[in-house]
Structure 1
């Protein structure tokens, strides 16, 4: 297994269990503990995890928490409830714009009951779940794929979005205060 594949699997294990053990990782990947130490050091420098004695854990407040795969597992019941409420605003035949985000991905699933629809999105989860579905016209905005956000971002996405119109748009954000929405990454805000 290549170094990057091993590191990605370590991240996947952290997403699933929130902590990993050094000895278990060395055994799992059939590499030395020093190799795992180097992997964990590099992932910690990247802000993905926090090393602890004998392993690593998720460090709240790091960029790890903004990773789509991690967010997708958080507060699933709340996200389903929000998605159901949002879907009540949609009528069959509408054009719906949905941005990236783990809650938005759930909304993409819930909207299946509202077809026929046109869905405009940069959200890879929505694209994957709705491609080829009967009654869904899917418009993808393109751009550079970001695994961290599971979305297509950048100038291509920005240009496409500037030319498209929808009856309703659902835009998720990590934080809201009054009428202001906040996001930690400028490339997501622009797309």
Structure 2
């Protein structure tokens, strides 16, 4: 079994059981304890789990930013549904847009490649790589420093690069949100998204239903700054009514 498969199995077990001993985990995945300990080291650095005496527990801190691998495998069906809605309501030929480094937005690339005369601007190495297979899309990738354990570029070079553009649409996701604020767990990431927000005509937030009514460490922008919020499930009536004068919520 390759490491990626083991990581996914460990993730599935911890989501279901929250806590497990190293001995039991080793037996469940049919590998040695030394192999499990190496996998635990990786997933602990990724922010997915924490060590406890004799075992591990799933990390529940909303301030934790997971690695790209972990985020890619979270709530995949919800993210795919959101991408379909974005394609239905927003995508067409001859558009320019910012794409953030989120895994939710990365799923959009499969739809974006179906259109022509597209200019996509991003700080995500993964998204740029995905779009590079299409001759219909001109993809501009920022410079910057590669953020540890991700495919994201951060730093002053990213800020200066993004400030030189003004696009038709912004498509970004977030760590979580409540009816008033949109949250991130990393200041550098939040600052990059804030520049994208200020330099786009229409702002679209893509967020799955598990992220509602939560908060995290950093709030750089408010929900009312977005023209649209696209999600996989109808939010509460209170949430929709609060945003009604400013933001349209799309869920079907």
Which category of TM-score, normalised to the shorter sequence, fits these structures? 0.7 to 0.9
Question: What TM-score results when the alignment is normalised by the length of structure 1?
Answer: 0.75
Higher share of residues assigned helix:
1
State whether structure 2 residue 99 is matched by structure 1 residue 106.
no
Deviation, structure 1 residue 104: 0.8
Distance 1:133 1:60 in 2: 39
State whether structure 2 residue 51 is matched by structure 1 residue 58.
no
Distance 1:185 1:120 in 2: 21
Bigger drift between 61-70 and 112-121 goes to 61-70
Aligned to 2:108, what secondary structure does the other structure show? helix
Q: Deviations over 1:86-120 (max 9, x none)?
A: 22312211112111101011112221222331111
Structure 2: segments with no counterpart, 5+ residues: 15-19, 193-252
Aligned to 2:160, what secondary structure does the other structure show? helix
Equivalent pairs counted in the alignment come to 175
- Contact 1:154/1:187, CA 8 A, preserved across alignment: yes
Q: Which residue does 1:14 correspond to in 2?
A: 7
1:26–1:177 CA distance, 2 compared to 1 (3 A): closer
Q: Which residue does 1:157 correspond to in 2?
A: 158
Distance 1:64 1:81 in 2: 25
Distance 2:105 2:42 in 1: 31
Q: Which residue does 1:33 correspond to in 2?
A: none
Q: Which residue does 2:189 correspond to in 1?
A: 188
- Contact 2:147/2:154, CA 8 A, preserved across alignment: yes
Structure 1: segments with no counterpart, 5+ residues: 1-8, 30-35
- Contact 2:144/2:154, CA 8 A, preserved across alignment: yes
Distance 1:72 1:152 in 2: 17
Q: Which residue does 2:130 correspond to in 1?
A: 129
Aligned to 1:66, what secondary structure does the other structure show? coil
Deviation, structure 1 residue 49: 2.4
* Structural RMSD (CA): 3.1
Q: Deviations over 1:49-90 (max 9, x none)?
A: 223565434323276662221111111111111112122312
Bigger drift between 15-24 and 39-48 goes to 39-48
Q: Which residue does 1:5 correspond to in 2?
A: none
Deviation, structure 1 residue 156: 0.6
1:41–1:170 CA distance, 2 compared to 1 (3 A): closer
State whether structure 2 residue 76 is matched by structure 1 residue 83.
no
- Contact 1:175/1:181, CA 8 A, preserved across alignment: yes
Question: What TM-score results when the alignment is normalised by the length of structure 2?
Answer: 0.59
